[in-house]
Amino acid sequence: MTTAAVEAEQAAERFVSTFRRVRDEMAKFIVGQQDVVEHVLLAVVSGGHVLLEGVPGLGKTALVNTLAQALHLKFQRIQFTPDLLPADVVGTQVLVDRNGHKSLEFQQGPVFCNVLLADEINRATPKTQSALLETMQEKSVTVAGRTHRLDLPFFVLATQNPIEQEGTYPLPEAQLDRFFFKLFVELPGHDEFAEILRRTGGAKLPTIDPVATGEEILEMGRTLRETPIDDAVQDHLIRVVRATHPTSEDAPAEVRKFVRHGASPRGAQAILAASRGRALLAGRYHVSREDVDAVAAPALRHRMILSFEGEAEGVKADDLIEKVIEKVD
């Protein structure tokens, strides 16, 4: 085996071990939700942001808090409300008097962290929501003509409530597209419920220790990008993404009928990165079609804009993605 191969093997092993360490640490507090946790971690190591959707009380905020604790990273939380201003998010310039010399200094907002929890993001106004656009994509903040770089790794974990739609502002498509994954936090099962009560109902709550550093997360991201993908599998990926467009030849009839716009190339990038992570976690050194199909739904569901007919019919994006995969396979 060549040196490069040995180094690659070691990197892959480190990836897997770090991933498992974080996951196991989170599992101390988070009961069940393995898929959500795994997808969140995949998004994190891929350098992406996650939108968590679920009814109140299912542990969305707790999941993010736990993740922040498990990672040795700076964590900030913003509770989005309608009166929240962009400056409250990204920071603002304040007049500072230093030894009689007054000057405007930039005061960093809560986005200057590694893990940002944007709780109930859809309750802020679009203006405030859009303040996150540059932050999420460029990982930088520009205030008063000056750009401030954020520390890496940086990722936003946002939550939103599918009910209580009054007084909310649905995220614009451009903002949605910035999210690597959109994950649904489902109601736990009976046994999981009991376990939650057991763990949180006592006098002592489980303690979460940081088990991974920011540097390790960044290295995981680099390892991920080296994982090979066959052209045929990549072709399959592209076909899946393209088939979400109603104008595509591969698009199934349902997509043609109920979808207004399909996923962007950013969605394909998300699938590719997540598939690679999934392959490494499975002990493989190549991406398979199964990996692509497995991560297609969380990566594409928020990128497919349903038509009026689709909205009226109550069509679910996940069902459409399933049809797309069936058709492409």
Partner 1 sequence: MSANSPGPVEQFVAFVRRRVNLHLLWTTLIWTAAAGSGMLAVVSLFYVLQGYAVPGGWIASTLALAAIGGMAAWRWRRLSVEEAARFVDRFYGLKDAVASHLHFARAGRRDGFYELQADYTRRQVSELSPTAIAYRPPRRGLLLAAGLTAVALPLSLRGPSNEVVQRLEQEEAVQQATELSNKEMLELVEELRKDVDDPFEKELVDPDTLRKMVESLEATKDQKEALRQYAQLERELNKARLAIQRKQDEQLLDRAAEKLLEERESKPLGEQLQQKKYDQASQELALMEPEASKPISEQRQQLARLKAASQRMAAAAKANKSASQGKESKAGEKSNSKSAAAKNANGGNGASGESGAAAGEGGGELAENLEELAQSVQHLDESLQEAERQEKESGKCDSQCQSQCQACQNSVNDQLGKLCKNLTKLAIRREADKKLCRLCEKCSQCQGLCNGLCQKPGSNPGGKKAGWGSNTARREGSDELVDNGQTTQLQGTKGAGPSLTTVESAEDGSGVSNRRSTAKQRQFQRQFESFVEREDVPAQVRDGVKIYFQLIHQMESTPAADGDAAE
CA 76 to chain centre: 16
Select the residue interacting with partner 1 from 116, 226, 255, 303 (CB under 8 A).
Answer: 226
* Minimum CB distance to partner 1 smaller for 173 or for 235: 235
Nearer to partner 1, 226 or 322 (CB): 226
The answer to the question of residue 222 lying near partner 1 (CB under 8 A) is: no
Show contacts with partner 1 in window 285-304 (CB under 8 A). 285-291
With contact defined as beta carbons under 8 Å apart, do 326 and 289 qualify? no
CB of 14 to partner 1, least distance (A): 14
Contact segment (CB under 8 A) with partner 1 among 192-200, 221-229, 298-306, 317-325 equals: 221-229
Asked whether the beta carbons of 302 and 51 are under 8 A apart, the reply is yes
Q: Does 203 bind partner 1 (CB under 8 A)?
A: no
Of 301, 186, 286, nearest to 232 by C-alpha is 286
Distance CA 54, CA 186 (A): 7
Tell me: does residue 284 bind partner 1 (CB under 8 A): yes
The nearest distance, CB 7 to partner 1, in angstroms, is: 7
Q: What is the DSSP string of 1-35?
A: --HHHHHHHHHHHHHHHHHHHHHHHHHTT--S-HH
Compute the least distance from the CB of residue 292 to partner 1, in Å: 10
Residue closer to partner 1 by CB (options 60, 276) is 276
- By the rule CB under 8 A, 4 interacts with partner 1: yes
> How many CA atoms, within 13 angstroms, populate the side-chain half-sphere of residue 172?
12
- Element holding 134 (H helix, E strand): helix 126-138
Question: Which positions touch partner 1 (CB under 8 A)?
Answer: 1-2, 4-5, 7-9, 12, 226-233, 282-291
